């Protein structure tokens, strides 16, 4: 029949149009903010600093190496290093940031800071409701505002956080084994005593002293020669 395809197409369009109002799985619009769409694990908004344990300041993983500050494309990270050291997650004394600011009004959520951090100290948050009327102070986050626990990291990115924990645990075991081996070697050396110490090399005799020349060197002119010259 002439126009049968057109009629079938229009019918399909009408069916989809009506279905998008009544079929729950096809409703793509939600009544925000009363309703919330689920946040998927791969969501990334702005960075935060991870800390271990119950004290955000003592537990910050960041060692103020400043790699993220250098690599951040819009330069929205500002770090000041400490002049003293505190133990990091592996127990190694490290410097720490006395100041760590991120201007999230400039941050473009590229995640480069996360990629370059060698200490698993900075991760991407999923929090996006950050609007404020204070354009400057309200969007410049300091280290206290940026600090979030490892438990929070597990809550928002469970798969990634579990992988990071496994990697850190492995590094910790290796570091402990290395420290133990170094301590055992030092103890063995101390037990062996000075007898094991290498015999000091005999000092070399002083170099032969060349007899002084009786007259001026051939290249030098005597005062008489200079006068004649």
Give whichever of 116 and 154 is closer to ligand SF4, judged by the CB atom: 116
Tell the smallest beta-carbon distance from residue 150 to ligand SF4 (Å): 14
Q: Which residues bind ligand SF4 (CB under 6 A)?
A: 47, 62-68, 72-74, 76-77, 79, 102, 107-113, 116-117, 119, 121-122
DSSP secondary structure of 111-147: -HHHHH-TTS-EEE--------S-SSGGGEE-HHHHE
Q: Using CA of residue 120, residue 124, residue 127, residue 131, what is the dihedral sign? A: positive
Q: Work out how close the CB of 154 gets to ligand SF4 at its nearest, in angstroms, rounded to a whole number.
A: 19
Residue with tokens 């925000």: 32
> What is the sign of the dihedral through the CA atoms of 156, 159, 161 and 162?
positive
Nearer to ligand SF4, 57 or 220 (CB): 57
Asked if 123 contacts 50 with a C-beta cutoff of 8 angstroms, the reply is: yes
**Closer Cβ to ligand SF4, 11 or 138, answer by number:** 138
Residue 18 and residue 124: Cα distance in Å, rounded?
A: 40
Nearer to ligand SF4, 131 or 219 (CB): 131
Calculate the alpha carbon distances from 8 to 1, 13, 16, 17, 43 in Å: 12, 9, 12, 14, 40
Min dist. Cβ of residue 176 to ligand SF4 (A) = 21
Residue with smaller CB distance to ligand SF4, 8 or 85: 85
- Least distance to ligand SF4, CB of residue 175, Å: 16
Minimum CB–partner distance for residue 133 and ligand SF4 (Å): 22
Indicate the pairing of strand 147-149 with strand 47-51. parallel
Residue with tokens 């597990």: 154
Residue 122 vs 139, nearer CB to ligand SF4: 122
Distance between CA atoms of residues 47 and 170, nearest Å: 25
Minimum CB separation from ligand SF4 for residue 16, in Å? 39
110 SS3 class: coil
């Amino acid at each position: 029949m002439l126009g049968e395809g057109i009629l079938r197409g229009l019918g399909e369009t009408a069916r989809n149009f009506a279905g998008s109002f009544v079929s729950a799985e096809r409703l793509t619009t939600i009544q925000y903010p009363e309703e919330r769409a689920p946040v998927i694990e791969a969501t990334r908004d702005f960075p935060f600093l991870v800390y271990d344990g119950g004290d955000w300041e003592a537990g910050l993983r960041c060692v103020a190496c400043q790699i993220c500050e250098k690599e951040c494309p819009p330069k929205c990270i500002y770090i000041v290093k400490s002049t003293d050291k505190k133990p990091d997650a592996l127990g190694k004394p490290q410097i720490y940031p006395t100041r760590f600011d991120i201007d999230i009004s400039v941050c473009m959520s590229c995640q480069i800071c996360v990629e370059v951090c060698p200490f698993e100290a900075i991760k991407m948050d999923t929090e996006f409701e950050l609007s404020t009327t204070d354009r400057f102070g309200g969007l410049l986050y300091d280290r206290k505002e940026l600090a979030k626990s490892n438990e929070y990291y597990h809550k928002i990115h469970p798969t990634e956080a579990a992988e990071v924990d496994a990697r850190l645990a492995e590094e910790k075991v290796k570091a402990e084994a290395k420290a133990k081996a170094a301590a055992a070697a030092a103890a063995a050396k101390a037990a062996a005593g000075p007898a094991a110490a290498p015999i000091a090399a005999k000092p070399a005799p002083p170099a032969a002293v060349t007899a002084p020349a009786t007259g001026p060197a051939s290249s030098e002119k005597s005062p008489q020669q200079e006068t004649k010259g």
